[in-house]
Structure 1
Amino acid sequence: MAPFGPPSSDPSDEELTRRAQAGETGALGLLIARHQASMRAVALSLLGYGPDVDDAVQDASLTALRRIGDVRDGEAVGAWLRAIVRNACRMRLRAGHEVPGLDGLDQLRLGDDEGSQPERHIDRHAMRDWIWEAVEGLPQHLRLVLMLRHFSGITSYQAIADACEVPVGTVRSRLSHARAHMARALTETASQAHGDAAAVTEASRDEAVATLRAWDAGGLPREISELWPAESEMVGRLGRAGERVHPVPVMRHYLEDGVRQHVRHVVAGRDIAIWEMDVTHDGARHVCPPNLAWLMFRRNGRVERLRVVFPRPAQ
């Protein structure tokens, strides 16, 4: 009698690994789904019952997305996945609190250059688009903390809490919920077509550069002024409680005083954009911190709210 096993029509781990390394996101999603039960068993044995178990498995799954190119023996991919879970658990036990979570996403900043050894990784564009499609499926409040934590320079819990004007505990909770949503969404969307995430970010970077150039020149061309309709509102530190303030005069005020901003990094989705700026103020009446970030919330392509945040220096 033949040993019990999967139907012959099911692809083997070796075949799925080979397809995943060639850039097939559906194969990678199937591999992770196939081994998730054994990955969870490892996490339970090290962490005991509790929310850290699911977080560790989700973290390990996302690490596997980035590192699938490292696998040399496709038949042993299950053991490789379990080893990643063990490492994720040990990091949690050592670190205690501030664990980055989605390991490797910060290395997939949209628009960054490719690695020096592309043959060791699945296609970066395909993976970026897949990950970003899952990010876009999150509720806005979860999407914002995830974008800040893993795609921007505002990464500490305290800095994110300051930017979002919420307690640190809320940031931790939202990141935990975001990880859970991401793990499900990545599995569900693995075989779907994904939009060009880098193109969205590059278009936003072009807008940032054009906006600063236009404001410095004293006039907004039509394509830029359309980003800032009359209903746009400045909120947060540069806004005024109980009073609607339009962003354009506020930002122009600082420009006229000699403060200059220079685009350093941009990350953008369909309705949230983060423009990170370096700041110079030679001879300016106002002395600003050396960097700041614009958090923009958009509707139908236009800015609905702008919050300018001044990240604390990294400790």
Structure 2
Amino acid sequence: MDSTGSELPTSAWKSEEDLIDALRRQDDDAYEYLVRAYSGRMLVVAKRFLGQDQDAQDAVQDAFLSAFKAIADFEGNSKLSTWLHRIVVNACLMKLRTRKRKPEKPVEDLLPHFVNDGHRDRVEPAWAVTFDTAVQSRETRDLVRDQIEQLPETYRTVLLLRDIEQLSTDETASRLNMSVSAVKTRLHRARQALKTLLDPHMNDGY
């Protein structure tokens, strides 16, 4: 579920390199085009992390300001969309660090429980489809996104970085200032909790 999106239309500049050169020259038309061409997909990313509020808009604005300041140092080793994606994710993480955190539902409420003999206290429902097949449906993708939003923020963020934004474990740990082992543990618990949330919707009657 990569979110970098499609590339630069050829109608504005002959190539992405031409656009980057114009940005480095501080060309106002290039700045305006960059915002028009990429703000939509960047806002989608921001809303995943921050929700449907003003914080998402602010994160996109912060990301563009950071990109304009850093464009002279952009070496072109990745596509412009990939570079902007990294920047907006960083802006979202910064917002999450600075805003007042709402009380979270304990993730333990969403994790499997075990009885004394080591077995789970309930039989997990069988899904009518596999997860990979399910996410090919737009309706089911929307359901998955809705249930991800129900996860506690600290677990949702790790799951978004690893499974949705497709960062590596090492990069996720670096972005969150966590150890690799802590990221792996939190991701495992986030996936378990997400499955619990999805189970009622994905059984044989789905």
Q: TM-score, normalised by structure 1?
A: 0.27
Pick the structure with greater CA Rg.
1
The structure that is helix-richer by fraction is 2
Q: Which one has more relative contact order, counting CA pairs under 8 Å at least 6 apart?
A: 2
